[in-house]
């Protein structure tokens, strides 16, 4: 049977067919759907972990326990999971263990453009990279086999254009893989220095064996065409290269670490001009230079952003192509915005009004940094808002801290905000932390998390009580407030920022896109009452339109949340009728 | 079997992804190789959203490049203007005659361009403006404007109507299947 599948869905299918029984992940674009699709298979236990480090540790535990296990994350998630990664490389596995990591060249939805292939090299772990959905499935299965054959975790590396592209996949049945026996193994599983020293020797031997395997495996294949041009490539760059140089010869690398020295040398010796085509860092190219193979790569191709067939034709064949894919001339930009009805709008409206310095974090609410709300000063990584608020207080003093808040989402707070808050309490900070609790993980598409009381499989579970949690770690001032109650929220923010001890404000209102949220009725403008003062425009609501002569509501967008009614001093907004939302 | 590159553009929330999924499913049923590319996450929050669908005998890249789209299916006027360079000279541009102001326009830092349809028509011979929002309203749900437009676009392919219906049944949530099939048919029968 054939099915059109998203790359991420095909990765999940591969896990299913290969008999995986445990999966753990933290959502992150573009990796999220891997685990969502895995969760649809009743034969696989799947969960959202609080963060990527925990997800990998769960998968390691399952592997030691004899099961085939996978975890999934976006590129920056692998930074969080790097600690267990580097040591599970030493311990090896019992059941097959695959770590899926999705890079985001072009930064469609990320804070940096790191190339995770460097982790394979640094952690001494083999890495495979598929170039379409069929390969996503096949390589997942192959990765589990390699993992067990060589006693190593394996990384399956994806990029946005692989994860979020669809192509046709041939489906097969699930293979029943029996649970391997669990054996206590001090020398292999307890990485104290004496044992780790011995394991490091084994890791180096393993990498040599894998390098030999790379020469033979069908994951790396040569497709001969004209020998005038030879292309060494992998992943999505293979598809762009095929399109740009259809009749050239290709060495397509499915296994990108370790690389096959002999195969590369043989291929290089038989082509006139050799190109290495890879997005981001010169990972393959650096290896070629090391083994003395001349090639054209980053001297002509960028280390920034995504490639395309047009870019390759332009840069390598010097063809006149239609130009930069991302350039849209002088058409007004349409940046992402907080949705109509978004609870975060009330938070940022208040923070801007109070002219606060806002240490921000990662989530939908990062959009509060954009005009007209423009009330977020920083965004670095998951959880950073809280540690940074503490740091800026220690640098600039407690007077500055009284005009400063950290803003972090509920899911992000659980991911890695808690430790920052403990730091504030422990080290006598006075910061105010606003946890914007919208009852979901919004940006990645509404995943449940430990605060929602529902598991990935849709079962009810215990809910983390944020108030009790903050109390337990020593924050005495914890306030819960609805950010759409603008007067009350403003008062709470002013009280808590002026207090000289740590405080937490939980801004509680569910995401407007959740099915449970029903705002009643659209809003309209009473033109007789509107003084055209434009205070409502400060909300940055996409449904409020300034026509140049007055204010109107776009009823195709209005969610009926009534926030505009709250900010208008002239009562010019009124309820009109049924909501579309 | 024609090779077709179809670029679908809209504003986050207009159903661009669903449209490409129905299109991809229908093309596969009709025996085409299919590659599609979409972008999730930050790009979806009311921002400009584009998906690429390429069908043919054998498709490599899932991405469409400038000047190479046979069809542009645009759910909003400004988005048509944004992606117009992607159309072939003789490509078909189907554009929903609806205006949704982006934030820079809302806050007054730039103006929404005037005469978008006229600008498009001046450059491309095959521009089809559609009042898809009105059509969807007549069906009782403005959200199906995407499928109305898909129905209109479907006439440019050799995929039979019944295959499209099957694709809708498989892709859309069960309780919305009838509505979406009606929307598709309305678009398919629309005179432009």
B115 vs A: CB within 8 A: no
DSSP string, A498-522: HSSS-EEEEEE---TTSTT----SE
Q: Domain end: A216, A232, A252, which one?
A: A216
What's residue B13's pLDDT? 85
Could you tell me if A61 lies within 8 Å of chain B, comparing CB atoms? no
Write down which residue in A475, A508, A541 finishes a domain: A508
Q: Contact B25/A323, CB-based, under 8 Å?
A: no
A146 and A254 belong to one structural domain: no
Residue B2 near chain A (CB below 8 Å): no
Partner residues linked to A434 by β-bridges: A407, A505
Quote the pLDDT of residue A581: 41
At residue A434, does pLDDT exceed 70?
A: yes
Query: What total of structural domains would you count in chain A?
Result: 4
Is any Cβ of chain A less than 8 angstroms from the Cβ of B85?
yes
Query: What is the mean pLDDT of the segment spanning A442-462?
Result: 94
Distance CA A225, CA A216 (A): 21
Q: Please check whether residue A324 lies inside any domain of the structure.
A: no
CB < 8 Å to A109, chain B: 39-43
What value, to the nearest 5°, has the Cα angle with vertex A331 and ends A326 and A334?
75
Do A28 and A131 fall into the same domain? yes
Mean local confidence (pLDDT), A266-295: 98
Q: Mark whether A131 and A193 lie in a shared domain.
A: yes
B133 CB within 8 Å of a chain A CB: yes
In angstroms, the separation between the Cα of residue B29 and the nearest Cα of chain A is 10
Statement to judge: residues A351 and A484 lie in one domain? yes
E-state strands within A352-476: 357-359, 404-409, 432-437
Instruction: Indicate which of A2, A3, A4, A537 best probes the interface with B, i.e. most B CBs within 10 Å of its own CB.
Output: A4
Q: Check CB contact of A325 with chain B, cutoff 8 Å.
A: yes
For chain B, positions 159-188, list CB contacts with chain A under 8 A.
Answer: none
**CB B78 to CB A332 under 8 A?**
yes
Asked if the structure places residue A286 within a domain, the reply is yes
Closest-CA distance of chain B to residue A412, Å: 15
Chain B, 27 to 56: residues with Cβ < 8 Å from chain A are 28, 33-48
Kindly list the residues from chain A whose CB atom is less than 8 angstroms away from the CB atom of residue B104.
332-333, 335, 371
Report if residue A327 sits inside a domain.
no
Domains of chain B plus CATH, in order, are 4-188 (3.40.920.10)
Helix H segments across A130-276?
Answer: 133-150, 160-163, 186-189, 193-216, 235-244, 261-269
On whether residue A322 sits in a domain, the answer given is no
Is residue A466 in some structural domain?
yes
Residue A579 has pLDDT above 70, yes or no: no
State residue B41's pLDDT score: 58
State the residue range of the domain holding A541.
522-577
Give the mutation candidate from B35, B45, B163 for the A interface (greatest A CB count, under 10 A): B45
- Asked if A500 and A398 touch (Cβ cutoff 8 Å), the reply is yes
Among candidate residues A216, A231, A256, the one where a domain is terminated: A216
Confidence label for A326 from pLDDT (cuts 50, 70 and 90): low
Nearest to A45 by CA among A56, A59, A33, A57: A59
- Give residue A535's pLDDT: 94
CB-based contact A551:A572 (threshold 8 Å): yes
Looking at the structure, tell me whether residues A167 and A248 fall in a common domain.
no
Query: What is the predicted pLDDT for the residue at A325?
Result: 57
Task: Give backbone dihedrals phi and psi of A19, rounded to 5 degrees, phi first.
Answer: 80, 20
The predicted model gives A523-544 an average pLDDT of: 94
The number of angstroms, rounded, from the C-alpha of A327 to the middle of its chain's C-alpha atoms is 25
- CB within 8 Å: B60 and A242: yes
What's this model's pTM, rounded to 2 decimal places?
A: 0.95
Give the pLDDT confidence score for residue B46 in this predicted structure. Answer: 80
Q: Please state which of the ranges A16-20, A76-80, A175-179, A515-519 shows the lowest mean pLDDT.
A: A515-519
Same domain, A470 and A404: yes
Closest residue to B82, CB basis, from A32, A310, A331: A331
- Give mean pLDDT, residues B117-128: 94
Residue B26: closest C-alpha in chain A: A4
- Contacts B8 to A, Cβ<8 Å: none
Q: Report the residue from B36, B85, B106 with minimal CB separation from A542.
A: B106
> Measuring CA to CA, which residue among A335, A238, A10, A326 is closest to residue A140?
A10
DSSP H/E element including A553: strand A551-553
Domain of A230: which CATH number? 3.40.50.920
Contacts of A445 in chain B (CB under 8 A): 40-41
Whether residues A300 and A211 fall in one domain:
no
Q: Assess B109–A contact: CB distance below 8 Å, yes or no.
A: yes
Residue A30 belongs to domain with CATH number: 3.40.50.970
Residues A13 and A157 in one domain: yes
Whether residue A417 sits in one domain with residue A372: yes
pLDDT at site A320: 78
A512 and B CB contact within 8 Å: no
State whether A264 and A348 are in the same domain. Answer: no
A165 vs B133: CB contact, 8 Å cut-off? no
Mean pLDDT of the region A133-157: 98
Please check whether residue A309 lies inside any domain of the structure.
yes
Size of interface A-B (CB pairs under 8 A): 173
Residue A361, pLDDT > 70, answer yes
Same domain, A45 and A89: yes
Nearest CA in chain A to B140: A580
The three-class DSSP label of residue A251 is strand
For residues A493 and B49, give the distance between their C-alpha atoms in angstroms, rounded to a whole number: 36
Q: Are A153 and A82 in contact (CB under 8 A)?
A: no
| Within a domain: A328 | no
Provide the pLDDT confidence category of residue A146 given band limits of 50, 70 and 90. Answer: very high
- For residues A139 and A254, membership in a common domain is answered with no
pLDDT-based confidence at A329, cuts 50/70/90? confident
Tell me, what CATH number does A546's domain have? 3.30.70.20
The reply to whether A336 falls in a domain is no
Q: What's the pLDDT tens digit per position in A310-325?
A: 999 999 998 877 665 5
DSSP characters over B90-148: EEEEEEE------HHHHTTSSPPPS-HHHHHHHH-SEEEEE-HHHHHHHTT-GGGHHHH
């Amino acid at each position: 049977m054939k099915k059109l599948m998203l790359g991420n869905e095909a990765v999940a299918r591969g896990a299913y067919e290969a008999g995986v029984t445990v999966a753990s992940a933290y959502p992150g674009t573009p990796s999220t759907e891997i685990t969502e699709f895995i969760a649809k298979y009743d034969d696989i236990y799947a969960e959202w972990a609080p963060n990527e480090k925990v997800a990998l540790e769960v998968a390691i535990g399952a592997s030691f326990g004899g099961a085939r296990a996978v975890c999934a994350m976006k590129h920056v998630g692998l930074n969080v999971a790097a600690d267990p990664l580097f040591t599970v490389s030493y311990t090896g596995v019992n059941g097959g263990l695959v770590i899926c990591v999705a890079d985001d060249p072009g930064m469609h939805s990320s804070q940096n453009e790191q190339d995770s292939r460097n982790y394979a090299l640094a952690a001494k772990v083999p890495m495979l990279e598929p170039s379409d959905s069929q390969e996503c499935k096949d390589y997942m299965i192959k990765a589990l086999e390699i993992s067990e054959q060589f006693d190593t975790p394996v990384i399956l590396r994806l990029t946005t254009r692989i994860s979020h592209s669809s192509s046709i996949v041939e489906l097969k049945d699930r293979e029943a893989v029996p649970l391997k026996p669990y054996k206590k193994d001090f020398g292999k599983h307890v990485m104290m220095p004496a044992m780790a020293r011995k394991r490091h020797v084994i890791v180096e031997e393993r990498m040599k064996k894998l390098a030999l395997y790379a020469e033979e495996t069908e994951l790396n294949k040569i497709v001969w065409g004209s020998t005038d041009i030879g292309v060494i490539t992998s992943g999505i760059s293979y598809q762009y290269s095929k399109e740009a140089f259809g009749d050239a010869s290709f060495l397509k690398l499915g296994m990108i670490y370790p690389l096959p020295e002999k195969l590369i040398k043989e291929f290089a010796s038989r082509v006139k001009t050799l190109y290495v085509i890879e997005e981001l860092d010169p990972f393959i190219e650096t290896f070629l230079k090391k083994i003395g193979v001349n090639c054209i790569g980053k001297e002509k191709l960028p280390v920034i952003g995504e490639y395309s067939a047009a870019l390759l034709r332009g840069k390598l064949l010097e063809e006149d192509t239609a130009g930069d894919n991302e350039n849209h001339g002088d058409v007004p930009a349409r940046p992402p915005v907080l949705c109509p009805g978004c609870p975060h709008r009330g938070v940022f409206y208040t923070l801007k009004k109070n002219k606060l310095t806002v240490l921000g974090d990662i989530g939908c609410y990062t959009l509060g940094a954009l005009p007209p709300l423009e009330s977020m000063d920083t965004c670095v990584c998951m959880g950073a808002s809280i540690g940074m608020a503490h740091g800026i207080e220690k640098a600039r003093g407690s007077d500055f801290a009284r005009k400063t808040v950290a803003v972090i989402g509920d899911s992000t707070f659980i991911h890695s905000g808690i430790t920052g808050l403990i730091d504030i309490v422990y080290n006598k900070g006075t910061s105010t932390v606003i946890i914007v609790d919208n009852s979901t993980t919004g940006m990645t598409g509404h995943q449940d998390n430990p605060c929602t009381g529902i598991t990935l499989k849709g079962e009810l579970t215990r809910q983390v009580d944020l108030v009790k949690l903050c109390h337990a770690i020593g924050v005495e001032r914890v306030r819960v407030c609805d950010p759409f109650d603008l007067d009350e929220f403003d008062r709470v923010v002013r009280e808590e920022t002026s207090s000289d001890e740590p405080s937490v404000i939980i801004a509680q209102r569910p995401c407007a896109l959740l099915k449970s949220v029903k705002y009643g009725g659209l809003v309209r403008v009473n033109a007789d009452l509107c003084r055209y003062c434009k205070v409502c425009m400060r909300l940055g609501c996409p449904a409020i339109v300034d026509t140049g002569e007055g204010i109107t509501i776009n009823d195709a967008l209005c969610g009926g949340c009534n926030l505009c009614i709250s900010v208008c001093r002239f009562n010019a907004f009124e309820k009109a009728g049924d909501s579309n939302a | 079997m024609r090779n077709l590159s179809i670029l679908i553009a809209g504003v986050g929330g207009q159903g661009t992804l669903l449209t490409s999924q129905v299109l991809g499913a229908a093309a596969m049923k009709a025996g085409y190789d299919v590659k599609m590319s979409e972008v999730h996450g930050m790009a979806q929050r009311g921002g400009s959203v584009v998906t690429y669908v390429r069908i043919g005998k054998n498709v490599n890249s899932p991405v469409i490049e400038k000047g190479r789209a046979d069809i542009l299916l645009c759910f909003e006027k400004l988005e048509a203007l944004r992606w117009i360079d992607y159309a072939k000279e003789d490509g078909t541009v189907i554009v929903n005659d609806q205006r949704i102001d982006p934030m820079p326009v809302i806050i007054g830092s730039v103006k929404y361009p005037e005469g978008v349809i006229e600008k498009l028509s001046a450059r491309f011979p095959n521009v089809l403006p559609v009042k898809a929002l009105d059509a969807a309203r007549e069906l009782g749900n403005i959200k199906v404007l995407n499928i109305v437009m898909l129905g209109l676009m479907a006439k440019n392919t050799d995929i039979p109507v019944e295959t499209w219906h099957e694709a809708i049944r498989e892709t859309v949530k069960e309780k919305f299947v009838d509505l979406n099939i009606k929307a598709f048919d309305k678009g398919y029968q629309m005179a432009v």
